[in-house]
Structure 1
Amino acid sequence: MKILLIGATGYIGSAIAENLTRTGHEVVALVRDAAGKGELPYEKRVADLTDPAALGAAVTADIDAVIHAGVPSGDQAVDAAAIDALTAPLRGTDRAFVYTSGVWVLGATGVEPVGEDAPVNPLPIVGYRPEIEQQVLATATDGVRAVVIRPGIVFGRGGGIPALLGNLAREHGEPKYTGAEGVRWPMVQVDDLAELFTLAAERAEAGSLWHGVTQAAVPVRELAGAAGRAAGVVTAPALWPLEEAAAAVGALFADALALDQAVSGQAARDRLGWKPRHEDAVSELANGS
């Protein structure tokens, strides 16, 4: 398949691009500036997510699927217009459009892991994202193989939100985490997540929604301790008061870091044949991943 990838130079998108290439697909990277990203081993097409006309023009007849792993703008109207532009050329063709959302749209989930049928209760930081999800999925009625993936907290390759835990440990001289004592995060390793995106582009049904999660609920205290050890800080993790976290990283992001969730990603294993290989976030973080 020839796949137009939005966000190909980002943390998640770069892993998706590598996985697509490794599995025999041809990547076309959508970039804002053809000269600004340096050399990429992929064909490049230029368009900005704020320019619907350019986005639509990038989805030519030779594109078999589109994967949107770009960063949301924060403006619902802009993001909605981008979705309309990217999916318009796909309507009536059964070509795939795979959109990246996230588990924060679920809000606090309770003790037991929830599946894709759980109601949404989005945090303010992702307040309009469920509406974008529904906009994407609705295109399935117009002949688009529309798919939404909600990744958990992504780790690996020294990046993602867990990398912040290592930085906090170095800054404060002790591992830090915010929220309640038992706060938990659903986790997924970035290369495993990239495999899920490839499977979704290849075989997911139109109108389907998937949780990209390999560990349903990992105690953040354990993650903070592991990240601290990798950073050379071996003291016990300590709670970071939410007010202090908000002052340091912003109130919306601090609330997300404090969110307790348990989310199941079993459906993708059962129905798409997803086979994650990195299922111990604590160990990987402790080893510097």
Structure 2
Amino acid sequence: MKILLIGSSGYIGGAVSRSLDLAGHAVVPMLRPSSRDGGQRTGHEVRYGDLTDPNSLRVAVAAGIDGVVHVGAPLEDWSADASAVGAMLTALRPGGVFVYLSGTWVLGHSTVGALDESAPVAPARIVAGRHLVERAVLDSTRRGVVIRAGIVHGLGGGIPRMLVEWADADGRGRYVGDDSSPSWATVHVEDLAELVTLAVAGAGAGTVLHGVTEPSVSVKAIAQAADLAAGGTGDARRWPVMEASAELGADFAEALALTQNVVAPAARALGWRPFRPTIVDDLREGSYGR
């Protein structure tokens, strides 16, 4: 299949591009028009479009594209994101697949038990409105699929890299939370990329998949592992949400302090078999160490 990939140059997008390539798909990165004369060489056919310009997206999706995988960073306006996604869906050929990468933050706190793909949304403030973009994909007349990724780690990147940098700067790890340690649902970036590839090949229209390998990992344990990755002794302190908000912004701090327990039965039923290291092992012994 010829797949238009949005976000191909990013942390997650690079892994997705490699996975799609290995599966035999023809990856077509979508680049911003400003890069047209920048001498970028991707090794692929490219298309040009801007998420703030729906007409450019319609042009990019037309003519020979079999599917779209959208792992690009969201815009600051969720209604603009919905407009961008809607433009691509209308331009995509009938029967084409559209895979949209969302995140588990749309589920909010896990208050009672584990949240599977049927759980209702209760978005954290930082992603309030993202569920409307999900709904546009799921309700479309194309083969729309939503993947909600947990906190992504691996290859030395993602939010865990930020925790390592905090530990390096402070001399010990830290994590955002109040009375108790929050917990994150997590996934290795290469396992997530393989789930995206499986979804392109076989997920049905209107499918929600949770890209989660570890349902609930103590963020204190993650911060302690980040301290080890930074050369410390494995110490970590709690950073109250109010204090963290002054530096990080209230919405981001609140999201980092979420307690989540998220499971992925629909993804497993699709044949997903993740096998990469856990987030703590990755920090302690893998891609984040000095």
TM-score range, shorter chain: over 0.9
- Equivalent-residue separation in structure 1 for 2:219 and 2:193 (angstroms): 23
Q: What does residue 267 of structure 1 align with?
A: 266
Alignment deviations for residues 67-101 of structure 1 (CA, whole Å, 9 cap, x no partner): 0111111112311211111001226x111000111
**TM-score of the superposition, structure 2-length normalised?**
0.94
Q: Of 164, 175, 181, which residue of structure 2 is paired with 1:177?
A: 175
AA matched with 2:160: P
The answer to whether the Cα contact below 8 Å between 1:6 and 1:69 also exists between their aligned partners in 2 is yes
Instruction: Tell me how large the CA RMSD over aligned residues is.
Output: 1.3
Q: What does residue 188 of structure 2 align with?
A: 189
Q: What does residue 63 of structure 1 align with?
A: 65
Alignment deviations for residues 197-233 of structure 1 (CA, whole Å, 9 cap, x no partner): 0010110000110100000001111111111101101
Unaligned runs of 5+ in 1: none
AA matched with 2:283: L
Q: What does residue 78 of structure 2 align with?
A: 76
Q: What does residue 204 of structure 1 align with?
A: 203
Aligned length: 284
The answer to whether the Cα contact below 8 Å between 2:117 and 2:265 also exists between their aligned partners in 1 is no
- Equivalent-residue separation in structure 2 for 1:64 and 1:37 (angstroms): 27
AA matched with 1:23: A
User: How do residues 27-42 of structure 1 correspond to structure 2 at under 5 angstroms?
Assistant: 27-32=27-32, 33-36=35-38, 38-42=40-44
Distance 1:183 1:128, change over 3 A: same
- Equivalent-residue separation in structure 2 for 1:186 and 1:36 (angstroms): 38
The answer to whether the Cα contact below 8 Å between 1:174 and 1:238 also exists between their aligned partners in 2 is yes
Moved more, 258-267 or 37-46: 37-46
The answer to whether the Cα contact below 8 Å between 2:62 and 2:92 also exists between their aligned partners in 1 is no
**Displacement after TM superposition at 1:243 (Å):** 2.0
Q: What does residue 146 of structure 1 align with?
A: 144
Q: What does residue 6 of structure 2 align with?
A: 6
AA matched with 1:105: V
Unaligned runs of 5+ in 2: none
Identity fraction in percent: 48
**TM-score of the superposition, structure 1-length normalised?**
0.95
- Equivalent-residue separation in structure 1 for 2:174 and 2:39 (angstroms): 34
Q: Of 41, 51, 54, which residue of structure 2 is paired with 1:52?
A: 54
Moved more, 110-119 or 196-205: 110-119
- Residues 1:95 and 2:93 aligned together: no
**Displacement after TM superposition at 1:235 (Å):** 4.3
- Equivalent-residue separation in structure 2 for 1:35 and 1:222 (angstroms): 46
- Equivalent-residue separation in structure 2 for 1:184 and 1:108 (angstroms): 10
The secondary structure found in structure 2 opposite 1:101 is strand
AA matched with 2:113: E
**Displacement after TM superposition at 1:28 (Å):** 0.2
Which runs of structure 1 show a deviation greater than 4 angstroms over 4 or more consecutive aligned residues? Answer: none
AA matched with 1:120: V
- Equivalent-residue separation in structure 2 for 1:78 and 1:159 (angstroms): 27
The secondary structure found in structure 2 opposite 1:84 is helix
